[in-house]
């Protein structure tokens, strides 16, 4: 993979580390990474898009080399989106295209909600559902339990967290970073050794702890008896704190493209990280059944919101990647670039 020099900028909120590349005379493109990753996961994407854009790929708070300041979960995606706003202001980036991947898709949606008239276009790669992660049960995002049980930082596999903390690369451990990378992020793609090492080392840059990853938790009265705390990454995605569905009602609607990997195991109507689906599979005991706590229909929720966006006057394209999991920009890069440039009319 190509190497891009790491840069840093002090904003009004924190010091942000980022990669910058491309043609400085072209339109700006802002790339926002997802959970358990960093800007380095975008290097293959930067390589194939840099001739078309002036690209910025920042590390979000808590990830990569950006200043490790605690994350207030009660702000949902706002902590990150306001960090990105300070980044845009500090570098005088004017009206960028934005692509957000996974959790970064939630950040991109929040940024668009707040600054729609300054966003040229919005790209979402297997994004966080507009209704958050776990704890909702239909296309309209109806809350599953009043306490938001089953959501937040308490449901991240503790062995995986420990393996991140200790930088464990043992291939015999199913929850080591290399195995999680292969099994969840890019199951259909053969990573080169260089790419795998870069991505795994990038995962190890995450800050671990209650104020960071996975975040705090607290008891809940309903199954599965644990709910979101108020600090850390996992809780920002709880429907207690995030609901981005009002994007469909924006008076100014940037064009939206949704890149969807069909084989995704993370953001899916049958997500292996969703407690409703894990309960249905019998992995989490005591599941109260489909009527009470079904799997979250994440894909159906995203489609429903953006079909409404389109009905309300916005432009929306769903680009489907049959052979991709969570990372179509890495797994099917040529198709990804073709879909994106076609969408933009380039």
Burial 54-80 (b: 16+ CB within 10 A, else e): bbbbbbbbbbbbbbbbebbbbbbbbbb
What DSSP string runs through 198-262?
A: HHHHHHTTS-BSTTSBS--EEE-SSTT-EEE-SBSHHHHTSTTT---GGGGG-SS---EEEEEET
pLDDT of residue 185: 67
Residue 215 domain-assigned?
no
When computed from its CA atoms, the radius of gyration of the chain, rounded to whole angstroms, is 19
Judge whether 302 lies within some domain. yes
**314 domain residue, yes or no:** yes
Query: What domain count does the chain have?
Result: 1
- Rounded distance between C-alpha atoms, residue 196 and residue 177, angstroms: 10
Which residues of the chain fall short of a pLDDT of 70? 184-188
Peptide bond into 163 cis (omega under 30): no
Cα 34 to its chain centre, rounded Å, is 4
- Residue 20: inside a domain: yes
**Is residue 24, in this structure, part of any structural domain at all?**
yes
Give the CATH number of the domain where residue 266 resides.
Answer: 3.40.50.1820
Residue 148 Cα to chain centre, angstroms: 20
**CA separation for the pair 230, 210 (Å, rounded):** 9
For residue 340, the enclosing domain spans 6-150+242-344
Residue 11 lies in a domain: yes
> So what's the pLDDT on residue 186?
65
pTM, two decimals, is: 0.97
pLDDT of residue 210: 84
Domain assignment of residue 193, yes or no:
no
């Amino acid at each position: 993979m190509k190497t891009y020099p790491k840069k840093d900028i002090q904003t009004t909120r924190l010091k942000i580390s980022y990669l910058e590349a491309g043609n400085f005379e072209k339109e700006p493109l802002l790339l926002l990474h997802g959970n358990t990753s960093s800007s380095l996961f975008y290097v293959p994407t930067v390589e194939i898009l840099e001739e078309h854009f002036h690209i910025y790929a920042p590390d979000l708070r808590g990830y990569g080399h950006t200043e490790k300041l605690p994350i207030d979960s009660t702000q949902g995606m706002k902590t990150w989106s306001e960090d990105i706003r300070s980044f845009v202001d500090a570098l005088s980036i004017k009206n960028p295209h934005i692509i957000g991947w996974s959790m970064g898709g939630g950040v991109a949606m929040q940024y668009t909600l707040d600054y729609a008239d300054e966003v040229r276009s919005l790209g979402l790669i297997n994004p966080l559902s507009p209704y958050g992660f776990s704890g909702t049960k239909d296309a309209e995002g109806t809350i599953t339990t009043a306490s938001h049980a089953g959501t937040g930082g308490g449901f991240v596999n503790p062995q995986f967290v420990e393996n991140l903390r200790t930088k464990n690369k043992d291939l015999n451990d199913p929850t080591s970073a290399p195995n999680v990378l292969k099994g969840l992020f890019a199951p259909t793609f053969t990573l080169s050794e260089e790419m795998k090492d870069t991505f795994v080392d990038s995962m190890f840059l995450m800050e671990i702890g209650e104020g960071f990853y996975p975040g705090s938790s607290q008891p809940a009265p309903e199954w599965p008896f644990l709910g979101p705390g108020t600090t850390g990454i996992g809780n920002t995605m709880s429907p207690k704190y995030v609901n981005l569905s009002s994007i469909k009602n924006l008076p100014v609607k940037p064009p939206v493209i949704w890149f969807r990997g069909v084989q995704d195991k993370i953001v899916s109507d049958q997500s292996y990280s969703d407690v409703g689906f894990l309960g249905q599979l019998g992995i989490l005991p005591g599941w109260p059944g489909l009527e009470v706590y079904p799997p979250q229909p994440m894909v159906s929720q995203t489609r429903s919101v953006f079909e409404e966006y389109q009905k309300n006057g916005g432009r929306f394209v769903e680009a489907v990647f049959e052979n991709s999991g969570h990372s179509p920009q890495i797994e099917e890069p040529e198709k990804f670039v073709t879909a994106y440039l076609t969408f933009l009319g380039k």
